[in-house]
Structures are given as structure tokens and as C-alpha cells.
Amino acid sequence: MLTDKRILKDPGLRFFFQLLPVLGIIYFYDLQILSTRVLLFDQFLEYKLFNYIFVCFCILIVINGTNFIDGLNGLVLGYYLIVLSFLLINNFLTLPFYSDDKIVLFFYLLFLLYLFNFFNKLYLGDSGSYILGLIFSFIVINCYMLNQSVSPYYIILLLWYPCFENLFSILRKFRFNNSPLYPDQNHFHQLLFFFIKKNINGSNLSINNLSALVINIFNLIILMIGSMDIYNTNLQILLILCNILIYVLMYIKLFNYRYKNIFKTIK
């Protein structure tokens, strides 16, 4: 709410106010990542303090990454509807405080919000993105705690897009000597919107929706493939690497397209 109303503008304070509730939730629910299937790193995870710090880092990456991808109608809500669908398909939501009625209600609530968002009748804002990122981080980590036979890299695959968007944005801004704490207009979905708008005739709303659908359809296909064998770590790592490669190659292409056209116009 404070960020949406531009009351809390300072990125450092914003990060601080994210950190407090995340740490509280981790401590209260004893939220831990018990295994990454990397022996040396798992030895560090045996220390509870280190585990809490690592979980906090992961959740903050998802939260802020979710806010970064919130720029097209239905992109964030559509993405998390896909994630929730695969959690339901794989029967992961078996925690004591989940009931079937609550899960179904949550699914239909997300779907209703998605429709309103898709048709430009509702906006998530920063607070909505942060809350969704926090909820799904919590759900996914809890699901993995109770399903240790599942590959941890399938869990990473479920949330790869907001996570990589965040990490890539930080590296990209450092590359161009910009502060990673401040927003810009060069996120993948923004470049894709620009590319489609320049190549397809249509209203801003229709291009906006189409751009979100393209990204979500790609993620749907990837998660469908990953869900074919959720215990196969090699498959999950391969898919994550493929996602990163495709993302980076497409980003370079879209970035060059946008700024080469701008330079041509200036000349």
C-alpha cells in the first residue's frame, strides 16, 4: 500500500519492510529448505541460522521478481495460476492447514482476479505482487518440506521466471552502471510488448494481453514437460538451463531491436 501510494519511495526502506515479515514467517513456521542435492551446500543448510538466511534470500528474490514481472495484464496472476494448477495436479497441497475447500476457493479467487486483470479492470500494484510472491514462496517451500522425494530443482522450475527476472535485472543494471535498486523500462516483458506492438496492428490493450499470453504459454509448456517426471533432477536442471538460455538469447534480440530502431529514428 505504501509503495503503491508513493509514500515509501526509498528502495532501502522498502527492502527493510519486506525483510521483517519474511523473517517472522520463516521463524514462526520453521520454514527450511532441507536439501538441494548439492552435498557441500546441504552441510551448511544443517545449521538452522544459515538455513533461515538462505530461505529468506530465496523468498525475497521471488517477491521482488514477482513485482518486476508485473507489467502486463494477467502476466503475474496467469503465471501463478499455472503454478497452482501444477501443485494441484501433483497433489502437493496436503499441508494440515490446507483444506480442499480452501484450495478450490483460492484457485477460483485467483482466476477471478486474473480475468479482471486481463481485461484491464483491476491492477495488482506493488503490494499485490509482493503478497502473491510471498504466498507462493511459502506454499512451494512448505510443499517441498513434506515431499522430499521430489527434485528440489522442480521446485526451482516452478518459480524460475520471477527469480531469474530479478537476478538478471540486477546483473543487467550493473552491466550498464545503473543502480539495481531503481526500476527501469527494460524488463523482458516490456521489450516483448514493444516488439509485438511494432509488428502487429492492434490496440495497446490487445498487444498487452497478447504479450502476457506468449510468456505464460511458454511457461505452461515448460512446466508441463517438467511435471512429466518431477523426481528427475537431470530433467529439471536441463529445463532450467534451457529457460535461461532462451530468455537471454531472446532478451538480447528484443533489446537490440528496440534500441537499434530508436537510434535509427534519431539519425
What is the 3 state secondary structure string of 25-63? HHHHHCCCCCCCCCHHHHHHHCCHHHHHHHHHHHHHHHH
For 125-133, what is the mean pLDDT? 88
Is the residue at 77 inside a domain? Answer: yes
> Above 50 in pLDDT, residue 263?
no
Would you state the pLDDT for residue 246?
Answer: 97
CA dist 125 and 7 (Å) reads 14
For 149-173, what is the mean pLDDT? 93
Tell me the range of 17-31, 101-115, 173-187, 218-232 where mean pLDDT is highest: 218-232
CA dist 86 and 71 (Å) reads 24
Provide the grid cell at 196.
509485438
With a pLDDT cut of 90, the percent of the chain lying above it is 54
Task: Give Cα separations from 8 to 11, 17, 41, 71, 89 (angstroms).
Answer: 8, 10, 36, 20, 39
For 188-208, what is the mean pLDDT? 93
Per-residue pLDDT band for 165 (boundaries 50, 70, 90) equals: very high
Is the residue at 134 inside a domain? Answer: yes
Per-residue pLDDT band for 41 (boundaries 50, 70, 90) equals: very high
CA dist 17 and 11 (Å) reads 10
For 79-92, what is the mean pLDDT? 87
Is the residue at 6 inside a domain? Answer: no
Residues 143 and 93 sit within 8 Å (Cβ to Cβ): yes
For 139-148, what is the mean pLDDT? 87
Mean pLDDT of the chain: 86
Residues 155 and 161 sit within 8 Å (Cβ to Cβ): no
- The count of C-alpha atoms lying within 13 angstroms of the C-alpha of 219, restricted to the half-sphere facing its C-beta, is 26
> Above 50 in pLDDT, residue 4?
no
Per-residue pLDDT band for 209 (boundaries 50, 70, 90) equals: very high
> Above 50 in pLDDT, residue 194?
yes
Is the residue at 132 inside a domain? Answer: yes
Is the residue at 241 inside a domain? Answer: yes
> How open is the CA angle 136-163-9, to the nearest 5 degrees?
85
Domain count, the chain: 1
For 31-51, what is the mean pLDDT? 92
Tell me the residue range of the domain where 44 lies: 11-266
Nearest Cα neighbor of 141 from 87, 90, 101, 105 is 87
Q: Which of 43-57, 63-77, 117-131, 139-153 has the lowest mean pLDDT?
A: 117-131
Residues 110 and 201 sit within 8 Å (Cβ to Cβ): no
Q: What are phi and psi of 176, to 5 degrees?
A: -100, 20
Is the residue at 4 inside a domain? Answer: no
pTM comes to: 0.88
Is the residue at 5 inside a domain? Answer: no
Per-residue pLDDT band for 69 (boundaries 50, 70, 90) equals: very high
- The count of C-alpha atoms lying within 13 angstroms of the C-alpha of 173, restricted to the half-sphere facing its C-beta, is 15
Helical segments of 146-203, H only: 152-158, 160-175, 188-199
CA dist 74 and 235 (Å) reads 29
Is the residue at 1 inside a domain? Answer: no
